[in-house]
Amino acid sequence: MGVRNIARHSLWICWKDLLEFSRSKLRLIMLVLMPLFMMVMVGFIFPSGGSTISDQPIALANMDAGYNNNFLGNTFVAQLNVINNNTGMMDLSTAKDFGSIKSEIQNSKVAGGIIIPENFSSNILTGEQGYVTIVIDQSNPQMSVMIQTVLSKTIEAMGEQMAIHSLNSTYNVSIIQATSMVKPYNVQIRSVPEGNTNYFQFVAPGIIAMVVMISYEKDMGTLDGMLVAPINRLSIILGKVMAQTIRGMLQGFIILLLAVILFGVVVQGNILLVVALIVLTVFSFVGLGILITSFTDKEETATMVMMTLMFPMMFLSGVFFPLQQMPSYMQTFAHFLPLTYATTALRKVMVLGADIPAVATEITILVGFGVILLMIAVPMFKRAMSR
């Protein structure tokens, strides 16, 4: 047999696989469309930076009973209206009380509500804090968190303004002094890398890693012809792995190109390192594909198993959300998934401009994962083939 034969046979098998792939128009189109859809989808669904909520229907119940004919609730509403006219965040409507807001939320008429209680004026004018209640819709947790945050901030800011004005008018403190008294800390933001970043920048590395991972060879159905030829079993595996790697690289490149051209993603790090990481990602998943084909009987079963494994990986490996957003036990779990490391490494290089030492850990883990998987998969495959 010899090494030369193995090499030659595997090259022919690789040639066959790539030829087959290049002939299938639909697969080629999907190769471009799939990542494009992904980018568009996640890029626009998940908002990039700050709050972008607008025209949210919010019910407002002003129940303030007043104090000595002073109706501070009305002032509050007027202020809120002024702010809202500038930001266009809310679509304010009037409600009677908590009960009516609740039923409006239940009927999906409003996304949340604000209640100014009866004792609002009396509390403030007697030297106590005035309470404002925000009602949120728990059936839409993400939106309710956003509304909650935005409303709280707005109302806090209104309170600060009021305090500053009281200080200014009551104690004759200048507005600047009053501001520094009420709000001694102010926050400024500087980012690495400099400049505006967007969600695409965050999500592109993950999508590259993910799509590359999916590009495995399902078609092992007609292996009999190769198995009955006097070739080493290793040639088949090698040939398939080569074809898969080349294909994965191509796919990775296309997404990278799309990300740069269409979505303004900037590659901060070394482009060669990005390419190397893409190849490494393909390598670390090759064994998984072989393993699955070894113990599944049909192409469809293999696809199903692959999908079942893929889906949690997609969501748990920090492709779409930062890992840090997940509960700690989930983070622990994520550290057992190779996609996590592929995503992290690619993100570090593409977004942060990291060099090799900075991603050495990830590289080591990916190589290790690939080697271990292959060490399990190759004997399994060989065994499965001579059943």
Please report, as ranges, the residues that interact with other proteins according to CB under 8 A.
1, 5, 8-9, 12-13, 15-16, 19-20, 23-24, 221-222, 224-231, 297-298, 385-387
Helix (H, G, I), strand (E, B) or coil at 126: coil
**Alpha carbon distance 129, 121 (integer Å):** 10
Between the alpha carbon of residue 204 and those of residues 102, 291, 349, the distances in Å are 41, 28, 12
Q: Are the CB atoms for 321 and 334 separated by under 8 Å?
A: no
Least Å from the CB of residue 387 to other proteins: 6
Least Å from the CB of residue 230 to other proteins: 4
Q: Are the CB atoms for 65 and 118 separated by under 8 Å?
A: yes
Residue 93, strand partner residues: 59
What does the block give as tokens for 221? 């159905």
Least Å from the CB of residue 384 to other proteins: 8
- For other proteins, give the closer residue by CB, 23 or 190: 23
Between the alpha carbon of residue 216 and those of residues 52, 233, 247, 305, the distances in Å are 39, 19, 9, 13
Least Å from the CB of residue 27 to other proteins: 9
- For other proteins, give the closer residue by CB, 295 or 321: 295
What does the block give as tokens for 119? 């004792």
- For other proteins, give the closer residue by CB, 245 or 293: 293
Name the strand (E) or helix (H) holding 371. helix 360-385
- For other proteins, give the closer residue by CB, 19 or 41: 19
Least Å from the CB of residue 239 to other proteins: 10
